[in-house]
Amino acid sequence: MPSVTVNGGRVVYEILGTTGTLVVLTPGGRFGMDIPGLRPLADALVERGHTVLLWDRPNCGASDVQFYGVSESHMRAETLAGLLTELGLGPCALAGGSGGARDSLLTAIQYPELVTRLVLWNIVGGTYGLFNLGAHYILPSLQVVGGAGIPGLLKLREWRERVEQNPGNEQRLLALDRDEFVKLSLRWLNAYVQKPGQTVPGVDDDLFDRIRVPTLIIRGGAQDLDHPRRTSLEISCLIEGAELIDPPWPEDAWERAMADRATGRIDRFNLFDTWVLAAPAIAEFLARP
């Protein structure tokens, strides 16, 4: 895979298609661009005449691990802006789900000159969703470093996987300063603490007025605790002119996927398998004048 260096870290990417609107497509979590369910959506958009940029964000896939910024999503927004600049691409459309929605949203807020349209779905919010983010992505590393120092990070599956996909990440992890890592982890954790005036973790609501591009939001499922319907409704109100549509997948798609993962049935219903169903709505939105 091709790569470029942004802020001292290698970022791996892939470009599909050669025509139409350029769309940066970003998955959720700390998943890389090889996560099942993402490429079918990318291929569907290419089939509809668009070009798609897939990328492994820092701490995802085969890209280098990196640790800086107000939050992990702030870091990724800065990385995406650097990636587009290095490649001489943009302005372009940004589309992302779950954590990818947050990364895309922050990029549009911080680098509006790079964004022409915005598509968001599975937006994380609410007490349960934010507690879950901090507990899943920050606390395990913070706790293991507290007990075993920086080398303890290599005991955690997610960092071992980053080394497996990119052997250079082992030295990048071991070179971290313990005290600085703890300080950064606490800052990232604090971003996930629910606060008045922050519908999206670490982002003040009054910053949403910087988004002046057409925006499409696919609302959260009625009972989805990770991506509440309320959060997507609130964000549609914060972004002037945003269009909110019902999900094109089953109302309980996320809950079913989580249940299958809990019982080991990830072969039957992956977290992002239904995302391809959004291709017609996204393509229609991108085709508007």
The number of CA neighbours under 13 Å toward the Cβ of 277 is 12
- pLDDT band of 155, cuts 50, 70, 90: very high
Mean pLDDT, residues 268-288 taken together:
90
Distances (CA, A) of 215 to 12, 52, 121, 285: 27, 18, 11, 9
- pLDDT band of 90, cuts 50, 70, 90: confident
Average pLDDT, whole number, for the chain?
Answer: 95
Mean pLDDT, residues 245-271 taken together:
80
- pLDDT band of 82, cuts 50, 70, 90: very high
Find out whether the peptide bond into 91 is cis, omega within 30 degrees of 0: yes
State the pLDDT at residue 37. 93
Does 13 have pLDDT greater than 60? yes
State the pLDDT at residue 258. 86
Does 266 have pLDDT greater than 80? no
State the pLDDT at residue 189. 98
pLDDT tens, residue by residue, 209-234:
999 999 999 999 999 999 999 999 99
Structure tokens at 231: 């959060």
Q: Are 7 and 78 in contact (CB under 8 A)?
A: yes
pLDDT tens, residue by residue, 160-173:
999 999 999 999 99
Task: Give the CATH fold of the 3-130+199-286 domain.
Answer: Rossmann fold (3.40.50)
Sheet of strand 243-245, all strands in order from the earlier edge strand to the far edge: 3-6, 9-16, 51-55, 22-26, 92-97, 115-121, 215-218, 243-245
Q: Helix, strand or coil for residue 174? A: helix
Residue reference for tokens 């990318």: 42
Does 289 have pLDDT greater than 80? yes
Mean pLDDT, residues 203-214 taken together:
97
Mean pLDDT, residues 198-209 taken together:
96
Distances (CA, A) of 45 to 24, 31, 242: 11, 20, 21
Q: Are 158 and 30 in contact (CB under 8 A)?
A: yes
**Which residue, among 83, 95, 21, 41, has the nearest Cα to 58 in the 3D structure?**
83
Q: Any idea where the domains of the chain sit in the sequence?
A: 3-130+199-286, 139-191
- Residue 264 or residue 70, greater confidence: 70
Does 10 have pLDDT greater than 90? yes
Structure tokens at 49: 């005449």
Q: Are 73 and 100 in contact (CB under 8 A)?
A: no
Extract the runs of DSSP E, i.e. beta strands, from the chain. Answer: 3-6, 9-16, 22-26, 51-55, 92-97, 115-121, 215-218, 243-245
State the pLDDT at residue 193. 96
State the pLDDT at residue 146. 96
State the pLDDT at residue 84. 98
- pLDDT band of 261, cuts 50, 70, 90: confident
Distances (CA, A) of 119 to 83, 100, 192, 242: 19, 10, 22, 10
Q: How is residue 91 annotated by DSSP?
A: S
Structure tokens at 232: 């997507």
Does 267 have pLDDT greater than 90? no
Does 268 have pLDDT greater than 60? no
